[in-house]
């Protein structure tokens, strides 16, 4: 009957994708029900899993040159309890996976010779590399947010 009414108004629905008699409907990142709208817990679980992944990767950031720049688009899209999986986020995630697979072998420090630090900054990122004889010992990078973006570099 509902599909007939839609058809009369030249609107068409795929029967296999329709739900009738449901008390709630999942729509994007929300669940709509008689009392209102709430966050879809399945989507929040995905966000928690993604944050867990980035928490794990934090341990490996010193092996990845330019880590902050690679993950910046993903962090920008992960605000509070909502994550927007954009094309930019997908590309950043792919770059991060590739960077992990190709992570540099870091040299061990020799405390009898000088250390050098190379630094680079932009309006949105800071990065540095600790080196000896041109070989990297560690990398550091961070996305700048809020007030830190307007401070003098």
Question: Which residues neighbour 34 within 8 Å (Cβ) at sequence distance 6 or greater?
Answer: 23
Structure-block tokens of residue 5: 């009414």
45 has a pLDDT exceeding 70: no
pTM: 0.46
Give the dihedral sign, CA 39/42/43/47.
Answer: positive
Residue 45, CA distances (Å) to 9, 26, 32, 48, 149 in order:
39, 15, 18, 5, 31
Question: Which residues neighbour 40 within 8 Å (Cβ) at sequence distance 6 or greater?
Answer: 26, 28, 29, 30, 31
31 has a pLDDT exceeding 70: yes
Tell me the mean pLDDT in the region 119-148. Answer: 82
């Amino acid at each position: 009957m509902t599909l007939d009414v839609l058809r009369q108004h030249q609107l068409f629905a795929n029967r296999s994708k329709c739900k009738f008699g449901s008390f709630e409907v999942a729509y994007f990142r929300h669940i709509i029900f008689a009392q209102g709208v709430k966050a879809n817990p399945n989507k929040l679980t995905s966000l928690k899993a993604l944050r867990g992944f980035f928490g794990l990767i934090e341990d490996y950031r010193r092996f990845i040159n330019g880590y902050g720049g690679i993950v910046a688009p993903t962090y920008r899209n992960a605000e509070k309890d909502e994550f927007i999986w954009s094309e930019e986020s997908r590309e950043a995630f792919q770059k991060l996976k590739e960077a992990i697979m190709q992570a540099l072998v870091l040299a061990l420090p020799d405390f009898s010779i000088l250390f050098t630090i190379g630094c680079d900054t932009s309006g949105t990122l800071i990065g540095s590399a600790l080196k000896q004889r041109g070989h990297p010992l560690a990398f550091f990078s961070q996305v700048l947010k809020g007030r830190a973006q307007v401070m003098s570099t």
